[in-house]
Protein backbone atom coordinates (compact mmCIF):
# COMPACT_ATOMS: atom_id res chain seq x y z
CA UNK A 1 0.00 0.00 0.00
CA UNK A 2 1.78 3.11 -1.23
CA UNK A 3 -0.08 6.03 0.41
CA UNK A 4 1.44 9.32 1.52
CA UNK A 5 0.17 12.63 2.88
CA UNK A 6 2.26 15.80 3.05
CA UNK A 7 0.55 18.54 5.01
CA UNK A 8 0.59 21.68 7.09
CA UNK A 9 -2.14 22.48 9.61
CA UNK A 10 -3.03 24.82 12.43
CA UNK A 11 -0.96 22.55 14.68
CA UNK A 12 2.26 23.08 12.72
CA UNK A 13 2.12 26.41 10.91
CA UNK A 14 0.95 29.96 11.34
CA UNK A 15 -2.09 31.26 9.51
CA UNK A 16 0.22 33.41 7.39
CA UNK A 17 2.00 30.33 6.02
CA UNK A 18 -1.24 28.43 5.46
CA UNK A 19 -2.62 31.42 3.57
CA UNK A 20 0.33 31.31 1.17
CA UNK A 21 -0.08 27.58 0.54
CA UNK A 22 -3.89 27.52 0.27
CA UNK A 23 -5.69 26.69 -2.98
CA UNK A 24 -8.21 29.51 -2.85
CA UNK A 25 -10.23 28.91 -6.03
CA UNK A 26 -11.54 26.11 -8.21
CA UNK A 27 -9.45 27.40 -11.11
CA UNK A 28 -6.26 27.35 -9.03
CA UNK A 29 -7.03 23.85 -7.77
CA UNK A 30 -7.67 22.64 -11.31
CA UNK A 31 -4.27 23.98 -12.37
CA UNK A 32 -2.69 22.21 -9.41
CA UNK A 33 -4.17 18.87 -10.44
CA UNK A 34 -3.05 19.39 -14.02
CA UNK A 35 0.48 20.06 -12.78
CA UNK A 36 0.50 17.04 -10.47
CA UNK A 37 -0.73 14.75 -13.25
CA UNK A 38 2.01 16.04 -15.54
CA UNK A 39 4.79 15.59 -13.00
CA UNK A 40 3.56 12.28 -11.55
CA UNK A 41 1.40 10.59 -14.21
CA UNK A 42 1.38 7.18 -12.45
CA UNK A 43 0.19 8.55 -9.10
CA UNK A 44 -3.25 9.30 -7.68
CA UNK A 45 -3.79 12.65 -5.92
CA UNK A 46 -6.30 14.38 -3.64
CA UNK A 47 -5.75 17.95 -2.40
CA UNK A 48 -7.51 19.04 0.79
CA UNK A 49 -7.32 22.81 1.33
CA UNK A 50 -9.31 24.45 4.15
CA UNK A 51 -8.87 27.40 6.49
CA UNK A 52 -6.99 25.13 8.90
CA UNK A 53 -4.95 22.85 6.65
CA UNK A 54 -3.39 22.18 3.28
CA UNK A 55 -2.84 18.48 2.58
CA UNK A 56 -1.79 16.56 -0.52
CA UNK A 57 -2.55 12.84 -0.55
CA UNK A 58 -0.70 10.68 -3.08
CA UNK A 59 -1.18 6.99 -3.78
CA UNK A 60 -0.01 4.22 -6.10
CA UNK A 61 -1.97 0.99 -6.50
CA UNK A 62 0.29 -1.25 -8.56
CA UNK A 63 1.44 -3.94 -6.11
CA UNK A 64 4.65 -5.74 -6.91
CA UNK A 65 5.93 -3.13 -9.36
CA UNK A 66 9.09 -1.04 -9.08
CA UNK A 67 7.62 2.30 -8.06
CA UNK A 68 10.82 4.35 -8.05
CA UNK A 69 10.23 7.68 -9.74
CA UNK A 70 6.50 7.10 -10.17
CA UNK A 71 5.18 8.53 -6.88
CA UNK A 72 6.24 11.83 -5.34
CA UNK A 73 8.51 11.90 -2.33
CA UNK A 74 7.99 14.33 0.54
CA UNK A 75 10.72 16.53 -0.92
CA UNK A 76 9.06 16.53 -4.34
CA UNK A 77 5.68 17.53 -2.87
CA UNK A 78 7.38 20.35 -0.98
CA UNK A 79 9.05 21.43 -4.22
CA UNK A 80 5.68 21.35 -6.01
CA UNK A 81 4.11 23.59 -3.34
CA UNK A 82 7.09 25.94 -3.46
CA UNK A 83 6.97 26.25 -7.24
CA UNK A 84 3.19 26.42 -7.57
CA UNK A 85 2.66 29.09 -4.91
CA UNK A 86 5.92 30.97 -5.39
CA UNK A 87 7.00 30.28 -1.80
CA UNK A 88 10.72 29.75 -1.18
CA UNK A 89 11.88 26.43 0.21
CA UNK A 90 13.47 28.30 3.12
CA UNK A 91 10.02 29.57 4.14
CA UNK A 92 8.65 26.02 4.00
CA UNK A 93 11.47 24.55 6.07
CA UNK A 94 10.00 22.86 9.14
CA UNK A 95 6.38 23.67 8.23
CA UNK A 96 5.46 20.49 6.35
CA UNK A 97 4.88 17.07 7.88
CA UNK A 98 4.58 13.75 6.07
CA UNK A 99 3.01 10.39 6.87
CA UNK A 100 3.17 7.21 4.81
CA UNK A 101 1.38 3.86 4.78
CA UNK A 102 -0.87 3.12 7.78
CA UNK A 103 0.02 6.43 9.45
CA UNK A 104 -1.21 8.35 6.40
CA UNK A 105 -4.45 6.35 6.49
CA UNK A 106 -4.88 7.04 10.22
CA UNK A 107 -4.22 10.74 9.65
CA UNK A 108 -7.02 11.05 7.08
CA UNK A 109 -9.40 9.11 9.31
CA UNK A 110 -8.58 11.49 12.20
CA UNK A 111 -9.07 14.53 9.97
CA UNK A 112 -12.42 13.35 8.58
CA UNK A 113 -13.61 12.50 12.10
CA UNK A 114 -12.61 16.02 13.26
CA UNK A 115 -10.09 14.78 15.83
CA UNK A 116 -7.49 16.93 14.11
CA UNK A 117 -9.74 20.00 13.89
CA UNK A 118 -9.41 23.17 15.94
CA UNK A 119 -13.00 22.61 17.05
CA UNK A 120 -13.25 19.01 18.14
CA UNK A 121 -16.25 17.24 16.65
CA UNK A 122 -17.11 20.00 14.19
CA UNK A 123 -19.19 18.59 11.31
CA UNK A 124 -17.89 20.83 8.54
CA UNK A 125 -14.60 18.99 7.99
CA UNK A 126 -16.21 15.79 6.73
CA UNK A 127 -18.05 17.83 4.10
CA UNK A 128 -14.76 19.48 3.15
CA UNK A 129 -13.13 16.05 2.80
CA UNK A 130 -16.04 14.87 0.65
CA UNK A 131 -15.75 17.97 -1.51
CA UNK A 132 -11.98 17.54 -1.89
CA UNK A 133 -12.54 13.94 -3.01
CA UNK A 134 -15.26 15.03 -5.46
CA UNK A 135 -13.06 17.74 -6.98
CA UNK A 136 -10.19 15.26 -7.33
CA UNK A 137 -12.54 12.91 -9.19
CA UNK A 138 -13.74 15.74 -11.43
CA UNK A 139 -10.11 16.49 -12.28
CA UNK A 140 -9.33 12.86 -13.11
CA UNK A 141 -6.83 12.60 -10.24
CA UNK A 142 -8.30 9.64 -8.30
CA UNK A 143 -7.74 5.93 -8.70
CA UNK A 144 -8.49 2.62 -6.95
CA UNK A 145 -6.53 3.38 -3.80
CA UNK A 146 -7.76 6.95 -3.26
CA UNK A 147 -11.33 5.80 -3.94
CA UNK A 148 -11.02 3.17 -1.21
CA UNK A 149 -9.19 5.54 1.13
CA UNK A 150 -11.66 8.43 0.98
CA UNK A 151 -14.73 6.21 1.01
CA UNK A 152 -13.24 4.59 4.11
CA UNK A 153 -12.77 8.04 5.65
CA UNK A 154 -16.48 8.78 5.18
CA UNK A 155 -17.37 5.49 6.85
CA UNK A 156 -15.06 6.15 9.81
CA UNK A 157 -16.43 9.67 10.25
CA UNK A 158 -19.97 8.30 10.43
CA UNK A 159 -18.97 5.73 13.06
CA UNK A 160 -17.27 8.34 15.24
CA UNK A 161 -20.25 10.66 14.93
CA UNK A 162 -22.78 7.99 15.94
CA UNK A 163 -20.73 6.04 18.50
CA UNK A 164 -19.22 8.97 20.45
CA UNK A 165 -20.43 12.28 21.87
CA UNK A 166 -17.82 14.38 20.06
CA UNK A 167 -20.43 16.27 18.06
CA UNK A 168 -22.52 17.36 21.05
CA UNK A 169 -22.61 21.03 22.06
CA UNK A 170 -20.73 23.77 20.24
CA UNK A 171 -18.67 22.01 17.64
CA UNK A 172 -18.51 24.18 14.52
CA UNK A 173 -16.01 26.98 14.01
CA UNK A 174 -18.88 29.43 13.62
CA UNK A 175 -20.76 28.33 16.73
CA UNK A 176 -17.66 28.48 18.94
CA UNK A 177 -16.63 31.83 17.51
CA UNK A 178 -20.04 33.44 17.98
CA UNK A 179 -20.80 31.66 21.24
CA UNK A 180 -17.49 32.42 22.92
CA UNK A 181 -16.46 35.72 21.35
CA UNK A 182 -19.71 37.25 20.11
CA UNK A 183 -21.47 36.81 23.43
CA UNK A 184 -18.61 38.53 25.23
CA UNK A 185 -19.44 41.64 23.17
CA UNK A 186 -23.24 41.50 22.90
CA UNK A 187 -25.80 40.34 25.45
CA UNK A 188 -28.17 39.34 22.67
CA UNK A 189 -28.40 39.17 18.89
CA UNK A 190 -32.13 39.77 18.47
CA UNK A 191 -31.55 43.49 17.79
CA UNK A 192 -28.47 43.05 15.61
CA UNK A 193 -27.81 43.38 11.89
CA UNK A 194 -25.61 40.68 10.37
CA UNK A 195 -23.68 41.17 7.13
CA UNK A 196 -22.29 37.96 5.63
CA UNK A 197 -19.60 38.37 2.97
CA UNK A 198 -19.42 35.25 0.81
CA UNK A 199 -22.02 32.60 0.03
CA UNK A 200 -20.23 29.30 0.52
CA UNK A 201 -20.53 26.49 3.03
CA UNK A 202 -18.86 28.39 5.88
CA UNK A 203 -21.25 31.31 5.37
CA UNK A 204 -24.23 28.96 5.54
CA UNK A 205 -22.87 27.27 8.68
CA UNK A 206 -22.52 30.66 10.37
CA UNK A 207 -25.98 31.74 9.28
CA UNK A 208 -27.49 28.57 10.71
CA UNK A 209 -26.07 29.32 14.15
CA UNK A 210 -26.86 33.04 14.17
CA UNK A 211 -30.39 32.37 12.97
CA UNK A 212 -30.85 30.15 16.01
CA UNK A 213 -29.52 33.01 18.14
CA UNK A 214 -32.33 35.18 16.74
CA UNK A 215 -30.34 37.75 14.78
CA UNK A 216 -32.71 40.50 13.64
CA UNK A 217 -31.59 41.23 10.08
CA UNK A 218 -29.49 39.18 7.66
CA UNK A 219 -27.77 40.67 4.62
CA UNK A 220 -25.69 38.51 2.27
CA UNK A 221 -23.10 40.12 -0.01
CA UNK A 222 -21.29 38.18 -2.70
CA UNK A 223 -19.60 38.97 -6.01
CA UNK A 224 -22.18 36.67 -7.57
CA UNK A 225 -25.49 38.29 -6.66
CA UNK A 226 -27.37 35.16 -7.78
CA UNK A 227 -25.54 33.02 -5.20
CA UNK A 228 -26.13 35.65 -2.53
CA UNK A 229 -29.84 35.65 -3.32
CA UNK A 230 -30.08 31.86 -3.01
CA UNK A 231 -28.37 31.84 0.37
CA UNK A 232 -30.33 34.82 1.69
CA UNK A 233 -33.61 33.25 0.63
CA UNK A 234 -32.80 30.07 2.55
CA UNK A 235 -32.33 32.01 5.79
CA UNK A 236 -34.89 34.77 5.58
CA UNK A 237 -32.39 37.46 4.64
CA UNK A 238 -31.80 39.73 1.70
CA UNK A 239 -29.00 39.92 -0.83
CA UNK A 240 -27.19 43.06 -1.89
CA UNK A 241 -24.62 43.68 -4.64
CA UNK A 242 -20.94 43.69 -3.74
CA UNK A 243 -20.66 47.38 -4.65
CA UNK A 244 -22.72 48.26 -1.57
CA UNK A 245 -20.40 46.48 0.85
CA UNK A 246 -18.95 49.60 2.52
CA UNK A 247 -22.36 51.10 3.25
CA UNK A 248 -23.61 47.77 4.60
CA UNK A 249 -20.58 47.30 6.86
CA UNK A 250 -21.12 50.83 8.23
CA UNK A 251 -24.49 49.83 9.69
CA UNK A 252 -23.63 46.22 10.62
CA UNK A 253 -23.32 44.99 14.19
CA UNK A 254 -21.86 41.64 13.14
CA UNK A 255 -19.75 40.99 10.05
CA UNK A 256 -18.88 37.43 9.03
CA UNK A 257 -16.49 37.13 6.11
CA UNK A 258 -15.88 33.82 4.32
CA UNK A 259 -14.76 34.63 0.78
CA UNK A 260 -12.18 32.77 -1.26
CA UNK A 261 -10.29 35.94 -2.21
CA UNK A 262 -6.55 35.53 -2.70
CA UNK A 263 -5.74 38.70 -0.70
CA UNK A 264 -7.48 40.81 2.01
CA UNK A 265 -10.51 42.68 0.68
CA UNK A 266 -10.66 45.21 3.56
CA UNK A 267 -7.63 47.11 4.84
CA UNK A 268 -7.32 49.51 7.77
CA UNK A 269 -7.68 52.65 5.68
CA UNK A 270 -10.87 51.43 4.07
CA UNK A 271 -12.38 50.37 7.38
CA UNK A 272 -11.40 53.67 9.04
CA UNK A 273 -13.48 55.46 6.42
CA UNK A 274 -16.37 53.04 7.05
CA UNK A 275 -16.23 53.71 10.80
CA UNK A 276 -16.74 57.43 10.25
CA UNK A 277 -20.25 56.52 9.06
CA UNK A 278 -21.12 54.17 11.95
CA UNK A 279 -20.87 56.41 15.03
CA UNK A 280 -18.24 54.09 16.52
CA UNK A 281 -20.82 51.56 17.68
CA UNK A 282 -19.42 48.13 18.65
CA UNK A 283 -18.89 45.84 15.68
CA UNK A 284 -17.98 42.16 15.89
CA UNK A 285 -16.00 40.94 12.87
CA UNK A 286 -15.50 37.22 12.41
CA UNK A 287 -12.99 36.61 9.62
CA UNK A 288 -13.20 32.91 8.75
CA UNK A 289 -11.52 33.18 5.37
CA UNK A 290 -8.16 31.74 4.34
CA UNK A 291 -6.38 33.87 3.27
CA UNK A 292 -7.76 36.58 5.57
CA UNK A 293 -10.42 38.93 4.23
CA UNK A 294 -9.61 41.66 6.79
CA UNK A 295 -6.12 42.95 7.45
CA UNK A 296 -5.17 42.44 11.14
CA UNK A 297 -4.74 46.21 11.47
CA UNK A 298 -8.51 46.60 11.06
CA UNK A 299 -8.84 45.42 14.68
CA UNK A 300 -6.87 48.46 15.81
CA UNK A 301 -8.97 51.08 14.02
CA UNK A 302 -10.77 51.92 17.29
CA UNK A 303 -11.60 50.32 20.62
CA UNK A 304 -15.08 49.24 19.52
CA UNK A 305 -13.87 47.10 16.63
CA UNK A 306 -13.58 43.46 17.71
CA UNK A 307 -11.85 41.45 14.99
CA UNK A 308 -11.32 37.69 15.35
CA UNK A 309 -9.76 35.38 12.78
CA UNK A 310 -9.04 31.65 12.61
CA UNK A 311 -5.97 31.91 14.83
CA UNK A 312 -7.99 33.61 17.57
CA UNK A 313 -10.12 30.46 17.83
CA UNK A 314 -7.26 28.16 18.76
CA UNK A 315 -7.18 28.74 22.54
CA UNK A 316 -10.94 28.28 22.86
CA UNK A 317 -10.85 25.17 20.73
CA UNK A 318 -8.04 23.69 22.81
CA UNK A 319 -10.22 24.09 25.91
CA UNK A 320 -13.02 22.31 24.04
CA UNK A 321 -10.61 19.49 23.24
CA UNK A 322 -9.53 19.01 26.88
CA UNK A 323 -13.13 18.82 28.03
CA UNK A 324 -13.80 15.97 25.59
CA UNK A 325 -10.82 13.78 26.49
CA UNK A 326 -12.91 10.62 27.09
CA UNK A 327 -14.68 11.00 23.75
CA UNK A 328 -11.33 11.44 22.02
CA UNK A 329 -10.20 8.13 23.50
CA UNK A 330 -13.34 6.37 22.23
CA UNK A 331 -12.91 7.92 18.79
CA UNK A 332 -9.26 6.91 18.60
CA UNK A 333 -10.16 3.30 19.35
CA UNK A 334 -12.61 3.36 16.43
CA UNK A 335 -10.01 4.94 14.15
CA UNK A 336 -7.31 2.44 15.17
CA UNK A 337 -9.72 -0.43 14.48
CA UNK A 338 -10.78 0.97 11.10
CA UNK A 339 -7.18 1.75 10.13
CA UNK A 340 -6.22 -1.85 10.86
CA UNK A 341 -9.14 -3.18 8.81
CA UNK A 342 -8.33 -0.89 5.90
CA UNK A 343 -4.61 -1.70 5.84
CA UNK A 344 -5.32 -5.43 6.13
CA UNK A 345 -7.83 -5.29 3.27
CA UNK A 346 -5.50 -3.35 0.98
CA UNK A 347 -2.47 -5.48 1.78
CA UNK A 348 -4.50 -8.68 1.35
CA UNK A 349 -5.53 -7.40 -2.05
CA UNK A 350 -1.86 -6.94 -2.93
CA UNK A 351 -0.41 -10.09 -1.35
CA UNK A 352 -3.36 -12.47 -1.74
CA UNK A 353 -2.91 -13.16 -5.47
CA UNK A 354 0.83 -13.79 -5.05
CA UNK A 355 0.25 -16.22 -2.16
CA UNK A 356 -2.48 -18.02 -4.10
CA UNK A 357 -0.37 -18.25 -7.23
CA UNK A 358 2.68 -19.49 -5.34
CA UNK A 359 0.66 -22.18 -3.57
CA UNK A 360 -1.08 -23.20 -6.80
CA UNK A 361 2.16 -23.54 -8.77
CA UNK A 362 3.95 -25.51 -6.05
CA UNK A 363 0.96 -27.77 -5.57
CA UNK A 364 0.89 -28.37 -9.31
CA UNK A 365 4.56 -29.39 -9.15
CA UNK A 366 3.73 -31.72 -6.23
CA UNK A 367 0.86 -33.36 -8.11
CA UNK A 368 2.95 -33.79 -11.28
CA UNK A 369 5.76 -35.44 -9.31
CA UNK A 370 3.33 -37.71 -7.46
CA UNK A 371 1.86 -38.93 -10.77
CA UNK A 372 5.35 -39.54 -12.16
CA UNK A 373 6.42 -41.41 -9.02
CA UNK A 374 3.29 -43.57 -8.77
CA UNK A 375 3.52 -44.45 -12.48
CA UNK A 376 6.93 -46.01 -11.76
CA UNK A 377 5.98 -47.63 -8.43
CA UNK A 378 2.82 -49.44 -9.43
CA UNK A 379 3.26 -52.01 -6.66
CA UNK A 380 2.41 -49.47 -3.95
CA UNK A 381 -0.94 -49.97 -2.20
CA UNK A 382 -3.38 -47.16 -1.41
CA UNK A 383 -2.07 -46.74 2.14
CA UNK A 384 1.51 -46.30 0.91
CA UNK A 385 0.39 -43.82 -1.73
CA UNK A 386 -1.50 -41.72 0.84
CA UNK A 387 1.49 -41.68 3.19
CA UNK A 388 3.78 -40.51 0.39
CA UNK A 389 1.28 -37.81 -0.60
CA UNK A 390 1.10 -36.54 2.99
CA UNK A 391 4.90 -36.46 3.24
CA UNK A 392 5.35 -34.54 -0.02
CA UNK A 393 2.57 -32.10 0.94
CA UNK A 394 4.24 -31.53 4.31
CA UNK A 395 7.57 -30.83 2.62
CA UNK A 396 5.94 -28.31 0.25
CA UNK A 397 4.18 -26.52 3.12
CA UNK A 398 7.40 -26.33 5.14
CA UNK A 399 9.30 -24.91 2.18
CA UNK A 400 6.57 -22.35 1.54
CA UNK A 401 6.23 -21.31 5.18
CA UNK A 402 9.29 -18.97 5.47
CA UNK A 403 8.60 -16.83 2.36
CA UNK A 404 4.87 -16.60 3.12
CA UNK A 405 5.48 -15.66 6.78
CA UNK A 406 8.00 -13.02 5.67
CA UNK A 407 5.37 -11.66 3.28
CA UNK A 408 2.73 -11.50 6.03
CA UNK A 409 5.14 -9.84 8.48
CA UNK A 410 6.13 -7.18 5.96
CA UNK A 411 2.47 -6.58 5.01
CA UNK A 412 1.63 -5.54 8.59
CA UNK A 413 3.53 -2.28 7.99
CA UNK A 414 2.41 -1.65 4.44
CA UNK A 415 2.32 -3.42 1.11
CA UNK A 416 5.72 -5.15 0.76
CA UNK A 417 6.33 -4.09 -2.84
CA UNK A 418 10.03 -5.09 -2.89
CA UNK A 419 9.36 -8.51 -1.37
CA UNK A 420 6.48 -9.14 -3.77
CA UNK A 421 8.74 -8.34 -6.71
CA UNK A 422 11.48 -10.60 -5.29
CA UNK A 423 9.05 -13.51 -4.94
CA UNK A 424 7.85 -13.02 -8.51
CA UNK A 425 11.43 -13.25 -9.77
CA UNK A 426 12.65 -16.01 -7.45
CA UNK A 427 9.74 -18.34 -8.17
CA UNK A 428 9.11 -17.31 -11.77
CA UNK A 429 5.53 -16.24 -11.09
CA UNK A 430 5.32 -13.77 -13.97
CA UNK A 431 2.54 -11.17 -13.91
Q: What is the pLDDT along the chain (431 residues), one digit of tens a residue?
A: 688 999 988 777 777 788 889 998 889 999 999 999 999 998 999 999 987 899 999 998 654 444 444 678 889 999 999 999 999 988 888 889 999 989 999 999 999 998 888 777 777 889 999 999 999 999 999 998 999 999 999 999 999 999 998 877 665 677 777 777 888 898 888 999 999 998 877 778 778 888 888 899 999 999 889 988 988 998 899 999 999 999 999 999 999 998 888 889 999 999 999 999 987 899 999 998 888 899 999 999 999 999 988 777 766 767 767 777 888 899 999 999 999 989 878 776 766 667 777 777 788 888 888 888 888 888 889 898 899 988 988 888 888 778 777 766 666 655 566 666 676 677 666 55
- How many domains does the chain contain in total? 3
Same domain, 153 and 294: no
Extended strands (E) in 161-290:
193-197, 217-222, 238-241, 254-257, 283-287
**Domain assignment present for 281:** yes
Domain identity same for 128 and 215: no
Buried b (16+ CB within 10 A) or exposed e, 133-143: bebbeebebbb
Rg (CA), the chain: 29
- For the chain, helix (H) and strand (E) counts, in that order, are 16, 10
Distance CA 320, CA 119 (A): 7
Instruction: Say if CB 306 and CB 285 are below 8 A apart.
Output: yes
Residues 58/77, Cβ–Cβ less than 8 Å: yes
Question: Do 191 and 287 share a domain, yes or no?
Answer: yes
> Is residue 91 domain-shared with residue 15, that is, in the same domain?
yes
Instruction: Examine the domain organization and report whether 92 and 155 are in the same domain.
Output: yes
What CATH number is given to the structural domain containing 209?
A: 3.40.50.720
Q: Which of 139, 170, 201 is the last residue of a domain?
A: 170
**Same-domain pairing of 132 and 260:** no
Same domain as 222, residue 162: no
Q: What is the pTM of this model?
A: 0.64
227 in a domain, yes or no? yes
291 prior amide bond cis, ω within 30: yes
Q: Which is catalytic among the residues 51, 93, 142, 317?
A: 51
Q: Is 64 left (phi over 0), alpha (psi -120 to 50) or beta?
A: left
Judge if 149 and 88 occupy the same domain: yes
Q: How many CB atoms lie within 10 A of CB 274?
A: 22
Domain boundary pick from 315, 332, 356: 315
- Give the Cα separation of 29 and 159 in Å (integer): 30
Residue 304 lies in a domain: yes
Say yes or no: 373 and 286 in one domain.
no
Domain identity same for 108 and 195: no
Asked, for residue 325, whether it belongs to a domain, the answer is no
Domain ranges, residue 379: 346-426
Domain assignment present for residue 352? The answer is: yes
The answer to whether residue 392 is domain-embedded is yes
Question: 310 with 404, same domain?
Answer: no
322 within some domain: no
Same domain, 20 and 107: yes
Examine the residue annotation and report whether 51 is marked as an active-site residue of this protein.
yes
Specify whether the CB–CB gap between 287 and 15 falls below 8 A: no
CA nearest neighbour of 23 among 141, 114, 156: 141
Amino acid sequence: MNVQVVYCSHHTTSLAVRERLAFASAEQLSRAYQSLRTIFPKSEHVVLSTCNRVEIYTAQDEPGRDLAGETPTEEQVAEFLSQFHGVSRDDLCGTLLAQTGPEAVRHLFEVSSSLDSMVLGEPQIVNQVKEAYRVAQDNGACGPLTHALFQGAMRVSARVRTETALSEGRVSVASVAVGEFGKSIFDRFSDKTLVVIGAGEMAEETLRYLKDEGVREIVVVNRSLERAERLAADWGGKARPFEELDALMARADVIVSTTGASAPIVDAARFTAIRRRSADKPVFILDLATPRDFEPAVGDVDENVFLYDIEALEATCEKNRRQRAKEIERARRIIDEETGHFVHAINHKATGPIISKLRAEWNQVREDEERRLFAKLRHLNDGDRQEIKRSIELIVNKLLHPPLEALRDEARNGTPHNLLEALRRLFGLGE
